[in-house]
Amino acid sequence: MLELKLNQLDFPLLSLFIFLPVLGAFLLLFIKNAMAARWVALVVSIIELGLCVPLLLNFDSSMAHMQFGESIPWIAAWNINYRLGVDGISILFVVLAALLTVISIMVSWTAIQDRVREFMIAMLFLEAAMIGVFVSLDLFLFYIFWEAMLIPMYLLIGIWGGPNRLYAAIKFFLYTLVGSVLMLIAIIAVYFAAGHTFDVLALMNYKFSHTFQMWAFAAFFVAFAVKVPMFPVHTWLPDAHVEAPTAGSIILAGILIKMGAYGFLRFSLPFFPDAALAWTPAIMVLSVIAIIYGAYMAFAQTDFKKLIAYSSVSHMGFVTLGIFALNLQGLEGGILQMLNHGVSTGALFLAVGIIYERTHTRQIADYGGIAARVPVYATFLMIVTFSSIGLPGTNGFIGEFTILLGAFLHYKPYAVIASLGIILGAGYMLWLYQRVAFGKITNAHNEHLADMNAREVVAALPLVILVFFIGLYPNAAFGVIHASVENLVQHVNAKMASAPAVTQMLSTVIGN
Amino acid sequence: MPTLYQQFMQSMMPILPEAIVIIVALTVLVFDFFIEKERKSLLGWYSLAGIVIAAYASYTLMPMGGTFFGGTFHLDPFATFFNFVFYIACGLGILVSINYLEVEDIHRGEYYALMLFATSGMMFMASAGDLILLYLGLELMALSIYILAGFMRGSNRSNEAAIKYLILGAFSSGIMLYGMSLLYGLAGTTNLSGILAFLRVADLSNPIIFLAMIMLTVSFGFKVAAAPFHMWVPDVYEGAPTSVTAFMSAGPKVAGFAVLLRVFLYTFEPLREHSTAILAGLAVLTMAVGNVMALSQTNIKRMLAYSSIAHAGYALVGLAAGGPDGAASVMLYVLIYAFMNMGAFGVVIMLRKAGERGEEISDFAGLGKTNKTAAFLMLIFMFSLTGIPPLAGFIGKFYIFKSAVEAGLVWLAVAGVLFSAISAYFYLRVIMVMYMHEPKESIELSSAPSLALALAISVTAVIVIGIYPTDLLNYARASIAGIM
C-alpha cells in the first residue's frame, strides 16, 4: 500500500521548492529597478529548476511510495498536517512547472514593460502555489494551494492581459471558484466520513460507501472538469488564453489545466473508484465530444491563440479519455500526454508570444509567407506543430498512441471516434502553419520581421529538446511514472466493490 | 476582616474591564473641555490607552470565573473572548477615526466617549446572564451609535442615517421587550439559566414559547443585519461617517452574535430542533440578499454594507450548525471579520479627503498605480473577504462550513459556498478598478500614523491568522465553555 516514505535526503527539499519562490517574491518587494527585478526573478526560477536535479537523481522510480516526505502538524485541532511528498505521478509536473516558469520569465523579458516587479512577484507566487498543488499530501493543504493559485493568475490576466482582459479574468476566476467551492464541501464531507482526517494516503485506503462516493466524486469532478477543462465547462479557456500575456498562457496551458487531470489521478480515482467506474461512460462521452468539438472549433478560428486554446480542449479530451479508460496504458498515456501537452502547447504559446511581440496582431490572416523572413522561427513553429499533431518521432505521438491503445482495450467505439480527432488535429495545425509560414508575404509589415533572438532561442530550446527526447525515448518518462501508475491501477482495482468484468480486464492488462 | 471598601472593591472586580472603559469615557468628556480643537486627537490616543488597559484587565481576570451580581453577570471565557473582539473593533475604530474626524472637521471629544460607551454596552451584552442586563447593555450600545451615526450634524445624509437607525432600532427594541416579557410571563424569571431550567421541563408545544423565540430572533436579526431585517443597513452605513460605519459593521454586529450564541445555544437549547430551521432559513436568505444586492452597488460603503449583511449570513450558518464547533466557528469568524472589515474601511477612509467624496468604487480607479501600498492592502482585504486562502477569511469560512457539514446541514454549506463564490464578483471588481483601470486624476491620500497603524494591525492579522490559525482556533474552542 502507498505510504509516505521518509525523506531520503534528510532535507526538506519539497518545502524548499515551495518557499524559495516565495522568498524570491519577498526579495522583489525591496527592488525598485525593473531590470534588477527581472534578473532576480530569473535567477530564483533557475535555482528552482536546479533543485530538480537532486529531486530527479534521488527519486527511486522502482517503487510507488511517496518520496521526499515531510510531515509536521499544522492545525492540530482539525488534524491538519503540512504533508508533502512526490511519487511518479506528480514528480514530472514539479519539474515541468519549474521549467515553464523559467521560460515564462524569459519570454516576458521585453514583452512586459509595465509594473515589471509586480509581474515577477505574481509569477513567483504562482510557481510556489503550482508546485504546492502537486506535492501536497493533505487535502486541506492541497486546497489552499489550489485556490491561492487563482490570485496571481487572476492578476496576470487582468493587469497584463489584452484588451478584453477584464472579462476574461473575471470569467476565469468565477468558473474555477464555483467548481472549487463545491469540492471544498466534498473535502469536508470526506474528512468526516473517513474519521476526521485530511491525510491523502489514509483516505486512499479508506473505503467510502457507494452513495457517498457518487456524491463526492461528482463534487470533485466539477472542480477538476472546470480546470481541465472538459466540455461543456471549457468556455473560460479560450477567453483566458486569448487575453492572457504570453507567460500567463504558457503557465495556463502548461500547468494549470493539468491540475484538473492530476486531481482525477490523485484524488478521484483512488478515493472513489466505484463512482469513477459508474461515471466512466458519461466522462468518456464528454471526452470524445471535447476531442471532436475542440478540433472542429479550432478549424473555425481566425485568432492564433484562440485556435491553440481550442486545440487544448481537444488534447485534454485525450487525456481524460486515457485516464478514464482505467487501465495501465490509458493512465500512462494520459499522464504522458499531460506532459506532452504542457511542452508542446507551452511551446506553441511561446511561438505566438514571440511573433506577437513583433507584430502586435494575433490574426492568422495578418501573417503568411513569413518562413522566408524568419527561418529559425519557422523551424521552431514547425517542430512544435508536428509535436502538437503527434507526428511519430515527436512526443505527441507516443502519448496519443498509448491513450488510444488503452481506450481501445475497453471502449472501442470511443477510441475509433477519438482517433478522428488526431486527423482533424493534423488538419487544423497544418492549415495554420501553411497560412502563417508559407505562400507569399501578404502583409507588408512582415517584410522586415526580425528572427528569434538569442534569448528567445534559449527559452525555446529546452522545449524542442523535450519534444524529441520524449518522442524518441519515451521510456525515460514512462520509467518514472510506471511504478506509481501500476500501483494506482492495482489499488483502484482492489477497492472496486462490484465490477467483475473490469476487474478481470484490469488483471489481464496488468498480467501482460 | 476586610473593610467595607475592600469588600466593595472585591465585589466589583468582575466588572473591572467594563468599569475602566466607562471611567475612561467619562474622563474623556471632562478632558474635552480643556483641550483645544486642534489637539483633540489626544483624546483618541487616551481612549485607545483606556482600551488597552481594559484589555489587560480582561486578561488578568481570565483565571477568575463565575456568575456575579445575583446571576446577572457572567465572567466566563465566552464573554472574555467577545470582550477581546470588542477591544479590537473599538481600538481599530478609534485609530481609523482620528484622522478622519480631522478631515471631516467633526473632531469633538464626545465622539470617543460615545464609542467607549457603546463598547461597554457590548461588553455587558456578552456577559449578560439576565434579560434585563442584556437589554440595558444593548440600549447603551444602540443609543451611543444612533448619535455617532448622526455625528456629521451638517450633513443631511448623516442625519437621515441617524433618524432611520433610531426609529427602526427603537422598533426592534420594542419587539425584543415584547419577546422578553413573554418569556418572563412563562418562566417567571428573567435569568437565562432560569429560563433554560423552565424550558427543560416545559410543554414545548406551547405556541407562546415560539412567539417569544421568534420575537427575539427578529430583534437580534435586526442588530446583526440579517435579512429580512436588513433594510436599514445600506442607508445607515452609507450616511454615517465612514469611521462610524467601520465601527458599526464590526462592533454591534459581533455583540449581536454574542447574544444570539448565548441565547440560542444555551437558553434555547431545548428548542434546538425548531431554532435550527429558523436560523438556517435566515442564513440562506441573508447570504442571498447580501451577496446578490452587493453585485450592483457603485458606492463602496453601500457595497460593504451589503457585504456585511452577507457575512452575517455566513455567521448564521455556524449558529444554525450549533454545537461546540458551531459556536466556536462563529466566534472565530466574527473575530476575523472584524479585522478584515476594519481594514477595508480603513482603506476607504484613506481615500476620503476634504472636498472630494472618495466613496464611489470608481474613485479607486488606478490606485494600483498611484498608491501601491493602499491598493495592495485593499487587495488583501478583498481577497480575504472573498475567502480565498491563504488569508484569514478562508479559515473563518472553512470552519463555519465544516461545522455545518458536521451538523448534517450539507445543503446549507453548499448554499454558503455558492454565495461566497458569487461574492467574488463584487470584491474582485474593486481590485479590477484599482489595478486594471487607468487613474482618473492623481489621488492624494490622507494618511496618518493612526490610520497606518490600524491598517498594519489588520493586514498582519489577516495574513497571520490565515497561515497559522491554530492558537486562535484553540482559544475559540476553549472559550465556548461558558455556554455549553
**Per-residue pLDDT tens over the stretch A430-488:** 888 888 888 787 777 777 778 888 888 888 888 899 888 888 888 888 888 888 888 88
**Given pLDDT bands bounded at 50, 70 and 90, which one contains residue A506?**
very low
What number is the average pLDDT over the span A191-196?
A: 89
The confidence score (pLDDT) of residue B255 equals 94
Question: What single-letter amino acid sits at A471?
Answer: G
> What is the three-class DSSP state of A80?
strand
The confidence score (pLDDT) of residue A5 equals 64
Task: Encode pLDDT of A381-406 as tens digits.
Answer: 889 998 888 888 888 888 888 888 88
Residue A82 pairs in a beta bridge with A72
CA distance readout (Å), A436 to A226, A298, A343, A379: 31, 15, 21, 12
CA distance readout (Å), B103 to A485, B91, B107, B247: 66, 19, 9, 18
Using the beta-carbon criterion (under 8 Å), do B402 and A188 form an inter-chain contact?
yes
Q: Give backbone dihedrals phi and psi of A303, rounded to 5 degrees, phi first.
A: -100, 130
Shortest distance between the Cα of A149 and any Cα of chain B, in A, equals 9
Indicate if the pLDDT at residue B447 is higher than 60.
yes
Instruction: Find, in chain B, the residue whose alpha carbon is nearest to that of A173.
Output: B424
Using CB atoms, pick whichever of B424, B435, B474 lies closest to residue A77.
B474
The percent of residues above 90 in pLDDT, for chain A, comes to: 21
Task: Encode pLDDT of B12-56 as tens digits.
Answer: 888 999 999 999 999 999 999 888 888 888 999 999 999 999 999
What number is the average pLDDT over the span A362-381?
A: 84
Chain B residues with CB under 8 Å of A147 CB are 388-389, 394
Q: In Å, how far from its chain's centre is CA A63? A: 24
The confidence score (pLDDT) of residue A508 equals 47
**Given pLDDT bands bounded at 50, 70 and 90, which one contains residue A510?**
very low
A494 vs B232, which has greater pLDDT?
B232
Using the beta-carbon criterion (under 8 Å), do B432 and A147 form an inter-chain contact?
no
The confidence score (pLDDT) of residue B464 equals 95
Using the beta-carbon criterion (under 8 Å), do A184 and B398 form an inter-chain contact?
yes
DSSP assignment string, A371-417: GGT-HHHHHHHHHHHHHHHT-BTBHHHHHHHHHHHHHHHH-HHHHHH
The confidence score (pLDDT) of residue B355 equals 56
The confidence score (pLDDT) of residue A497 equals 53
Task: Encode pLDDT of A195-209 as tens digits.
Answer: 888 988 888 888 888
**Given pLDDT bands bounded at 50, 70 and 90, which one contains residue B357?**
low
Q: Give backbone dihedrals phi and psi of A469, rounded to 5 degrees, phi first.
A: -60, -50
The percent of residues above 70 in pLDDT, for chain A, comes to: 95
CA distance A267 to A141: 14
Spatial contact of B126 and B83, defined as CB atoms under 8 Å apart: yes
Q: Which grid cell is A55?
A: 529531486
A328 vs B341, which has greater pLDDT?
B341
The confidence score (pLDDT) of residue A502 equals 42
Chain A residues with CB under 8 Å of B418 CB are 178, 181-182
Task: Encode pLDDT of A73-110 as tens digits.
Answer: 888 888 899 999 898 888 989 999 999 999 999 888 88
Annotated domain spans of chain A: 272-512
The confidence score (pLDDT) of residue A6 equals 67
| A275-279, A367-371, B54-58, range with greatest mean pLDDT | B54-58
Indicate if the pLDDT at residue A7 is higher than 80.
no
Chain B residues with CB under 8 Å of A150 CB are 388
Strand B66-68 relative to strand A80-86: parallel, antiparallel, unpaired? Answer: unpaired
Write down the residue that cell numbers 521549467 correspond to: A99
**Given pLDDT bands bounded at 50, 70 and 90, which one contains residue A416?**
confident
Indicate if the pLDDT at residue B377 is higher than 50.
yes
Nearest of B123, B467, B477 to residue B332 by alpha carbon:
B477
Using CB atoms, pick whichever of B383, B402, B421 lies closest to residue A151.
B383
**Mean pLDDT, chain B, whole residue set:** 90
Using the beta-carbon criterion (under 8 Å), do B424 and A173 form an inter-chain contact?
yes
Using the beta-carbon criterion (under 8 Å), do B401 and A192 form an inter-chain contact?
no
Using CB atoms, pick whichever of B394, B420, B436 lies closest to residue A165.
B436
User: What angle, rounded to 10 degrees, do the helices at B410-436 and A165-193 form?
Assistant: 150
CA distance A112 to A122: 13
Total domains in chain B come to: 1
Write down the residue that cell numbers 523551424 correspond to: A379
Indicate if the pLDDT at residue A498 is higher than 60.
no
Indicate if the pLDDT at residue A509 is higher than 70.
no
Task: Encode pLDDT of A441-453 as tens digits.
Answer: 777 777 777 888 8
**Is the Cα dihedral B325, B327, B330, B332 positive or negative?**
negative
Spatial contact of A219 and A183, defined as CB atoms under 8 Å apart: yes
Question: What pTM was estimated for this model as a whole?
Answer: 0.90
Q: Which domain holds residue B242?
A: 4-482
Using the beta-carbon criterion (under 8 Å), do A189 and B410 form an inter-chain contact?
yes
Chain B residues with CB under 8 Å of A77 CB are 470, 473-474, 477
Q: Which grid cell is B104?
A: 471631516
CA distance B199 to A227: 52
ipTM for the assembly:
0.88
Shortest distance between the Cα of B86 and any Cα of chain A, in A, equals 25
Question: Which residues 6+ apart lie within 8 Å of A472 measured at CB?
Answer: A393
Q: Give backbone dihedrals phi and psi of A73, rounded to 5 degrees, phi first.
A: -65, 145
CA distance A203 to A137: 10
What number is the average pLDDT over the span B366-390?
A: 89
What number is the average pLDDT over the span B334-356?
A: 86
What torsion, rounded to 10 degrees, do the Cα atoms B425, B431, B435, B436 define?
20
Strand A4-6 relative to strand A66-75: parallel, antiparallel, unpaired? Answer: parallel
Q: Give backbone dihedrals phi and psi of B71, rounded to 5 degrees, phi first.
A: 80, 5
CA distance A70 to B342: 37
Using the beta-carbon criterion (under 8 Å), do B436 and A150 form an inter-chain contact?
no
What's the alpha-carbon Rg for chain B, to the nearest Å?
A: 21
Instruction: Find, in chain B, the residue whose alpha carbon is nearest to that of A167.
Output: B432
Shortest distance between the Cα of B447 and any Cα of chain A, in A, equals 21
B122 vs A31, which has greater pLDDT?
B122
**Given pLDDT bands bounded at 50, 70 and 90, which one contains residue B190?**
very high
Indicate if the pLDDT at residue A501 is higher than 50.
no
What number is the average pLDDT over the span B437-451?
A: 77
The confidence score (pLDDT) of residue A499 equals 45
Chain A residues with CB under 8 Å of B402 CB are 78, 188, 191
Nearest of B280, B240, B403 to residue B333 by alpha carbon:
B403
Using the beta-carbon criterion (under 8 Å), do A144 and B390 form an inter-chain contact?
yes
Task: Encode pLDDT of A343-354 as tens digits.
Answer: 999 899 998 888
Shortest distance between the Cα of B154 and any Cα of chain A, in A, equals 40
